Chain A
Amino acid sequence: MLKGRHLIDPMDFSVQELEEIFKLAEQIISNPKDFSHLCDGKILATLFYEPSTRTRLSFESAMLKLGGKVLGFYEPNSSSVAKGESVADTIRTISCYADIAVIRHPKEGAPKVASMYSDIPVINAGDGGHQHPTQTLTDLLTIRILKGRLFNLTIGICGDLKFGRTVHSLLKAMSRYENNKFILISPEELKIPDYIKKEVLRKGNIDFIENEKLEEVIDSLDILYMTRVQRERFFNEEDYIRLKDSYILDAEKMKKAPKDMIVLHPLPRVNEIAYEVDSDPRACYFKQAKYGMFVRMALILKLLGVDEHVND
């Protein structure tokens, strides 16, 4: 039962609960009109303590497509927060006005605190470099739809694997499904942290290999998940120049990729996927953004418990 629950950490929901959300999202995609009034009279509050246009618009669009309304702030200087109001007091007040809240905050754990003081469901829309669970839901729904399954997959994750929170969440989430294999592609400086290797991969007996060069492994992938490699993350310029091209996906590298591989990216991209790749049918990152809205629609319906008459 997801009604009344919060979503703070991508692992808050069981595999079965995620399945419920994904099935509902697929129903919405098939028959969006059937869902366009389920949230009539409901209000979503968007509490954005730091700007994130993409995530906010995705949530707002999700609620509007369900017939609900949206209120909130998207920069704290224009709100009571500027007067020094605590997260706890803000959420208690907002709980009086809205039925469900989405919160993005630069401090790690702020959405958790909000959920402790809230009478309405709270969704974490990103807390610093910590968690961004609806991105993980987006990634999983996209894989499920485009590959038809969440198991038996070889998933290449390329770029900044050290600091990228979406990468860590994706690894944890996909490790819960059977027989997935990971190929982790990054420069030495940006390798996956040891604690993720130990706590997630080795503990779960998950098959993984690490490689510095995308072109050496791209031919074995079902999914290529690209992330940005930031110049400032490198210790020296020499390494950056030596390796940077390896982390830019272009048409040349795509020639070596399997015909049914899909390319995903949490967006926004900077230069890690060349624009020439966009026209390749395997480039699925904009579809992924659309699925992100659908999965947020399903999540809102489940947490509000207004999907109950929808058939399984």
Chain B
Amino acid sequence: MLTINSIKKGIVIDHIKAGTGIKIFNYLALNKADFSVALIINASSSKMGKKDMIKIENAIDVDITALGLIDPNITINIIKDENIVEKIYPKLPEKVEDIITCKNPRCITSMENYIPHEFYLVDESKGEYRCRYCDEIYRLTEI
């Protein structure tokens, strides 16, 4: 069993779907961090079987909305003095702007690049979003 010490102050992103941790790691550009970061993949989990985790020994700003789009089931634990002081469960936002882009080649956004990419939540349980312009529906897992 791999052991990684608990952190004093920072963020632990838990319950990441196995295989998705690296996406969050890359999104947060943690490879450029000058503080301690642990990316744990395939940790055993009673709830999930296998899960990924990220421990960040620093109080950084994270865009919870964006992380929720990558994996809506994660738990973000805020750590102070080695204790969890806050647990944040990301909720899928009703509207997402300029985080994901429409891939439909027939969509006007594919031709004119000044238009904000806007998506609206249509089905939270499936993580489905609809493009504001062409109505194409995307599942977060496809993006």
* A-to-B contact residues, CB < 8 Å: 86-88, 105-110, 112-113, 127-130, 195
Q: Is the CB of B134 within 8 A of A109?
A: yes
Interface string of B94-117 (1 = CB under 8 A from A): 000000000010111111101100
* B107, B109, B133, B136: residue with the most chain A Cβ atoms closer than 10 Å: B133
Q: Contacts A109-B107, A110-B108: A195 and B132 contacting too (C-beta < 8 A)?
A: no
Q: Contacts A87-B108, A129-B106: A109 and B114 contacting too (C-beta < 8 A)?
A: no
Q: Is the CB of A112 within 8 A of B133?
A: yes
Q: Is the CB of B106 within 8 A of A128?
A: yes
Q: Is the CB of B112 within 8 A of A113?
A: yes
Q: State which size class the interface on B falls in.
A: 10 to 19
Do most interface residues of chain B lie in helix, strand or loop, or is the interface mixed?
Answer: loop
Q: Is the CB of B133 within 8 A of A113?
A: yes
Q: Is the CB of A88 within 8 A of B106?
A: no
Q: List 23 A-B contacts (CB under 8 A).
A: A87-B112, A105-B108, A106-B106, A107-B111, A108-B107, A108-B108, A108-B135, A109-B107, A109-B108, A109-B109, A109-B131, A109-B133, A109-B134, A109-B135, A110-B108, A110-B133, A112-B108, A113-B108, A113-B112, A113-B133, A128-B106, A129-B106, A130-B134
How many A-B pairs have beta carbons closer than 8 Å: the answer is: 46
* A86, A108, A127, A130: residue with the most chain B Cβ atoms closer than 10 Å: A108
Q: How long is the Cα–Cα vector from A86 to B111 in the complex, in angstroms?
A: 9
Q: How long is the Cα–Cα vector from A16 to B71 in the complex, in angstroms?
A: 42
B106 CB contacts on chain A under 8 angstroms: 106-108, 128-130
Q: Contacts A112-B133, A113-B133, A130-B135: A107 and B114 contacting too (C-beta < 8 A)?
A: no
* B107, B109, B134, B135: residue with the most chain A Cβ atoms closer than 10 Å: B134
B104 CB contacts on chain A under 8 angstroms: 108
Tell me the nearest residue of chain B to A130, going by C-beta.
B134
Flag whether B137 is at the interface (Cβ < 8 A).
Answer: yes
Out of A86, A88, A106, A108, which one reaches B133, CB within 8 Å?
A108
Min CB distance B97 to A, Å, is 13
B43-79 residues with Cβ-Cβ distance < 8 A to A are none
* B-to-A contact residues, CB < 8 Å: 104, 106-112, 114-115, 131-137
Task: Identify 14 new A-B residue pairs, CB closer than 8 A, beyond the known A107-B111, A112-B133.
Answer: A86-B112, A87-B112, A88-B112, A88-B115, A105-B108, A107-B106, A107-B107, A107-B108, A108-B104, A108-B107, A110-B108, A113-B115, A128-B106, A130-B106
Min CB distance A104 to B, Å, is 13
A88 CB contacts on chain B under 8 angstroms: 112, 114-115
A113 CB contacts on chain B under 8 angstroms: 108, 112, 115, 133
A108 CB contacts on chain B under 8 angstroms: 104, 106-108, 133-136
Q: How long is the Cα–Cα vector from A129 to B135 in the complex, in angstroms?
A: 11
B107 CB contacts on chain A under 8 angstroms: 107-109
Min CB distance A249 to B, Å, is 31
B108 CB contacts on chain A under 8 angstroms: 87, 105, 107-110, 112-113, 127
